[in-house]
Structures are given as structure tokens and as C-alpha cells.
Amino acid sequence: MKDLPKQAVIASMVVSVLVALAAIADLVLGVPFSGSEHTFLMDILFIICAAIAGYLSWDAFKDLS
């Protein structure tokens, strides 16, 4: 149970990277979320939010180590 906080932080880092990769893939390739005229703005917002969540996760991981 001692490693549970580290595992949760690492999981949030992985999820933020996956969200950023999906948004970048949508911007470049038009897959998987294409289909609306507002996807460009949403992709940019997803990338910004994923970067913020990734930074916060990394900072929390440093505090746990």
C-alpha cells in the first residue's frame, strides 16, 4: 500500500500523455475525433490541459520521491 500514491501519480502521467498524443494525432491526421468544425480548438485545449496535468503529476512524483 505504500506505493499506491506513486502508482496513482504515474497513472495520471500516462493518461495525460495519451490524451496529448490523441489530440496531436487528431490535429495532424484528423483521426480519431474528426467530424466537427470545432475540433481544432478542442485539440488545442486538450493539449494544454494534458500538459498542465502532466506537469502537476511530475511535480507530485518529485515530492513523493
Structure confidence at residue 52 (pLDDT): 98
The span from the CA of 46 to the CA of 39, in Å, is: 10
Question: Residue 65 pLDDT more than 90?
Answer: no
The span from the CA of 52 to the CA of 65, in Å, is: 20
Structure confidence at residue 18 (pLDDT): 97
Domain coordinates in residue numbering, the chain: 4-64
Structure confidence at residue 35 (pLDDT): 65
The span from the CA of 19 to the CA of 55, in Å, is: 14
- For the chain, the C-alpha Rg in angstroms (whole number) is 14
Which three cell numbers, joined as nine digits, stand for 1?
500500500
Question: What are the tens digits of pLDDT across the range 6-57?
Answer: 999 999 999 999 999 999 999 888 887 776 777 888 999 999 999 999 999 9
Match 502521467 to its residue by C-alpha cell: 13
Q: What is the pTM of this model?
A: 0.87
In three-state secondary structure terms, 15 is helix
